Homo-oligomer: A and B are copies of this chain.
Amino acid sequence: MTLRRRSAQAPSRTRSAKGIPLDSLSPLDRRLLERAVALGRRGWGRVHPNPMVGAVVARDGSVIAEGHHGELGGPHAEARALAELAGEVGATLYTSLEPCRHRGRTPPCTEAIVGAGVARVVYWAADPNPEAGGGGDWLRGRGVRVEGPFGEEGDWAAENPLFHHRVAAAADPEPRPYLALKLAMSVDGKIAPSGGRRVWLTGPEARAEVHRLRAGFGAILVGTRTWQADNPALTARGAVAPLRPPIPVLLDRRGEATPELRALGNRAARAIVVTEPSARAPLGERLRGRAEVVAVPNGPGGLDLSGVLGSLGERGVESVLSEGGGVLGASLLAHGLVDRLYLFVAPAVIGPGGVEAFPSPTSPGGDMVDSLAGWRQRLEPVRFGSDTLIVLDREVSSIPATGAKS
């Protein structure tokens, strides 16, 4: 199965829209808008398929109410912030997304805004969803002073990657899941010492963040060597209890998985084990009641990874976090299948003998100075203990025309 790439359908849709430059906001407006964006992040793992949205209500520069969309089906950020107002009119509402004007699970935010007597709305991101968009114009028509969107679509998508992917995928007959690759590495780009000896490079704060990130993904993908060596549970045991627990996905070309694996013992999310067609029947028999066994054709160096993602997409998986190992990550990168890199950089040097986080699949001794060309850091880096999380997002323009680079 060959997946058509999202970029081929709608390159102009996904990253090209531009708003007003952020620099044109006053420092106060900008700070409160950034606060709204930060509040929105609290919805991670709890609101999908809705976007994460935060809102701040201020008057004369002082914050009088805050809110965020905290739960799918629960009130939107604007409604939560406005609910805190006690009849106060003439305030300014800062929100991270254009207020919706459609009646979905909850009433339109635009009506709540007018009803609360808000005089001015400053919003950050345009709503890419044709159903929900247009709230700004609707409010303008009712005499509310509306400013936005600010910045550009690449930044909006980086803040709400799964939401933007979903909107774009809606126009794609064969959508593939959004794929993020997590790498924990030393400052010299190694994921393990030579020989693959296992070390904890990152500290407990970074590992807790990985659990928090897991809560927002539909599936957690690992390669054969990783589940064979670590027997991971692949559950989200962090600060966020996921609304829907991520599905453990194990690659198992040779059909070696056994029912005792920890990842197959998860009552809340039934695992998927991917193998090649000839191994499906015996493996399905062995894992009966423990996992769904899916067959995917072999590619040149293992299971066809586009096929793996396609199979997950057909099963309703919209997003995948790949956590290891190094070989799988390198293959995903080499095939141009990675949308986002979560790089946890630990203050350690492993040295030239270590296992490369970015091995060159074709020319091991060669240079690849442009191999991340077109990747951008749109989110701020974050420190976890002494480790740093750098998030790199692939710009649509950098996706190769053919699926594989190797």
Contact = CB atoms under 8 A, between A and B. Distances in A.
Contact of A366 (B185, B353, B357, B388): B353
A372 B194 contact: no
Given A188-B188, A189-B188, A349 B377 contact: no
A356 interface: yes
B351 A360 contact: yes
Size category of the A interface is 35 or more
A343 B186 contact: no
A359 B349 CA distance: 9
A345 interface: yes
B347 A352 contact: no
Contacts of A387: 377
B368 A349 contact: yes
A180 to B, nearest CB: 15
Contacts of A359: 352
A406 interface: no
B343 A187 contact: yes
A186 B369 CA distance: 8
Contact of A390 (B194, B345, B373, B376): B345
A281 interface: no
Question: Among A349, A365, A377, A380, which residue has the most Cβ atoms of chain B within 10 A?
Answer: A349
A381 B380 CA distance: 8
Given A349-B371, A358-B349, A186 B189 contact: yes
A230 interface: no
A62 interface: yes
B353 A367 contact: yes
Given A353-B365, A353-B366, 17 more contacts: A62-B62, A188-B188, A193-B367, A194-B366, A345-B390, A348-B372, A349-B368, A349-B371, A351-B363, A351-B371, A352-B352, A352-B359, A352-B364, A375-B386, A377-B386, A380-B383, A381-B383
Interface of A: 62, 185-190, 193-194, 199, 343, 345, 347-354, 356-360, 363-373, 375-377, 380-383, 385-388, 390, 392
